[in-house]
Amino acid sequence: MTGAEAVDQVRRLRPGPLPRHVAIIMDGNGRWAEQRKRPRFFGHAEGAKAVRRVVTTARESNIEALTLYAFSVQNWARPQQEVACLMGLLFDYLGEERRTILDNGIRLQGIGEIDRLPGFVQKKLRSLERESANNEGMTLSLALSYGAREDITTACRRLATEVSEGRLRPEDITPERLGAQMMTKGLPPVDLLVRTSGELRLSNFLLWECAYAEIVVTDVLWPDFQESHFFECIDVFRSRSRRFGLTGQQVASIESVAGADRA
């Protein structure tokens, strides 16, 4: 799909704001392969193609931040062969998509316990992070060896150290200060959280950042996820009424004032 077609596709949807930050739990690779009586590896390889599609589509749709759950801290406990296959695919992805990422002004970053990844993957990731650091088009965060509880714990430990060294008072700890210690610092909060393969759980993903995210679950297995599914998720997002704790009436009056200001 070209950039112009993507923009057109977005325009045809229900009008409304775009999510600034989209996060996706890319699930269902194994089941996709099992349905075809193929090894799980086959599903992961096909899933990597869906990653390429969604990154391009999100960029062309002017999404500010896209965060993809590629490998959780808990996924290390999978069979060693499967872990090795995922690391190999990640290495290939970073190599093959380098040009596309740089040419499209995408800033790429890894979030998670990156130093647990094999050296050859770390090297590739760090070099693309450096090369893309000044890009301003879209921030693509790959969650790798990522766990939200682990990230929150590390952030708390950092603030606790500051307190114990007398550099911070406990009463000065705010959600903003804690959030600024997390690996997602600088990104807007997640507006839209998508999970594929029909599972209704968060699996330790962005627990803090998703405080007010709209959650969309689709039965589509990740390797089958197409541009059209991405646009459908955006459309569902736009159909939601986000209230952030206010009443519907309050939200309506804020929106009408904002509408008048724009006119």
Q: Which helix or strand (DSSP H or E) is residue 230 part of?
A: helix 227-239
Q: Which of 27, 97, 151, 214 binds Mg ion (CB under 5 A)?
A: 27
Task: Respond yes or no: is residue 62 known to be catalytic.
Answer: no
151 touches, from ligand IPE, Mg ion, none (C-beta below 5 to 8 Å by class): none
Q: Which is nearer to ligand IPE, 32 or 237 (CB)?
A: 32
Say whether residue 98 binds ligand IPE (CB under 6 A). Answer: no
Question: What is the phi-psi region of residue 70: left when phi exceeds 0, alpha when psi lies from -120 to 50, beta otherwise?
Answer: alpha
In the set 62, 75, 224, 235, the catalytic residue is: 75
107 DSSP 8-state letter: E
Q: Which of 27, 151, 209, 227 binds ligand IPE (CB under 6 A)?
A: 27
46 DSSP 8-state letter: H
Shortest distance in whole angstroms from residue 199 CB to Mg ion: 7
Say whether residue 90 binds ligand IPE (CB under 6 A). Answer: no
Task: Respond yes or no: is residue 27 known to be catalytic.
Answer: yes
CB-CB contact of 26 with 89 (8 Å): no
Nearest to 41 by CA among 84, 96, 94, 105: 84
d(Cα 31, Cα 85) in Å, to the nearest integer? 16
Which phi and psi angles does 217 have, rounded to 5°? -110, 130
Say whether residue 221 binds Mg ion (CB under 5 A). Answer: no
d(Cα 91, Cα 85) in Å, to the nearest integer? 10
In the set 27, 29, 104, 191, the catalytic residue is: 27
Nearest to 21 by CA among 107, 110, 138, 180: 138
Q: Which of 62, 154, 181, 203 binds ligand IPE (CB under 6 A)?
A: 203
Say whether residue 29 binds ligand IPE (CB under 6 A). Answer: yes
Binding site for Mg ion (CB under 5 A): 27
Binding site for ligand IPE (CB under 6 A): 25-31, 69-72, 75, 86, 197, 199, 201, 203
Residues annotated catalytic, as ranges: 27, 75
